[in-house]
Amino acid sequence: MTLGISDRRYRRRRQGRLVLALARWSFVLLVAIFAGYYAYDFGIELARKEVRVLETKLYQASMTLEQLKTDIVGLETALRAERVLVAKWRDQYRGEVPSAEDKELLIKIHERIRKGVSRKRISEIITLAQKRDVCESLQVTRRFVVQNPVYAGPNDNVSFAENSIIVTAIGKSKVNNQGRPEAWFDPAKKVTVYFTKPGGGTTSTEGILPLNHAVVVGNNEYRFSIVSGVRSFVEISGRKCDYP
């Protein structure tokens, strides 16, 4: 009788321990399932947030790209307009700014104006200028002595156009082997040739021979060529041309 009661008690205790163990494992399983579900749901929500963030960034990038496309189109339009404007200004500049040759001519015109020649007179001369020169040789070559620091004597001038043009020259003295200046000029150095019109002023040309110079008298222009001659002398010849 006592053995039977003990056996039942033992079975109840085993069943109690089994139920308790089962309850514990069930609790652990439930906790694991809840944790897994919570982790899954949290992961899903996190992924959704990331997707929303990425979608927002993608939208912003798309809007930025569209704005950039619009800006590029505007810049290209502005660039084309600027190119047209630059081409217009370039053509205007080329049309209004004189070339080197034209600038030199303008300088000479302004020089004549400063010396008292009227703009009307210059305009008339330009209008009357001919395409071809009408000239004739003076048919004479004259020579004269070039004055220098050592010598200033006779035969130091010649005249043309019925004494309307008197020509003289000044140069540097020739230096001998002893370093002393001679009484004649050195043709290898610069010479200044003066063309004087009685009562009409003087013009000149300077440089190493040969030299060229033109002088206007009335309706004629005398074009002279000066070259080195025998010792102490230069030779001058020329042409008379219609002017203008």
Provide the total of helices (H) and of strands (E) in the chain, helices listed first.
3, 11
99-141 pLDDT, tens digit per residue, is: 777 778 888 888 888 877 788 777 767 766 665 678 888 889 9
Secondary structure of residue 207 in the 3-state scheme: strand
* Rounded Cα gap, residues 185 and 151, in angstroms: 9
Compute the distance between CA of residue 36 and CA of residue 29 in angstroms, rounded to an integer. 10
| φ, ψ of residue 148 in degrees (nearest 5) | -150, 170
Domain boundaries, the chain: 1-97, 100-129, 134-242
pLDDT digits (tens), the chain, 244 positions: 555 566 677 777 777 777 777 777 777 777 778 777 777 777 787 788 888 888 888 888 888 888 888 888 888 888 888 888 888 888 777 777 767 777 788 888 888 888 777 887 777 677 666 656 788 888 899 999 999 988 877 889 999 988 899 999 999 998 888 888 888 899 999 999 999 987 778 999 999 999 999 998 888 899 999 999 998 899 999 999 987 6
Integer-rounded Cα Rg, in Å, for the chain is 56
Residue 60: what residue type?
Q
pLDDT digits (tens, 9 = 90+) for 160-184: 988 899 999 999 998 888 888 888 8
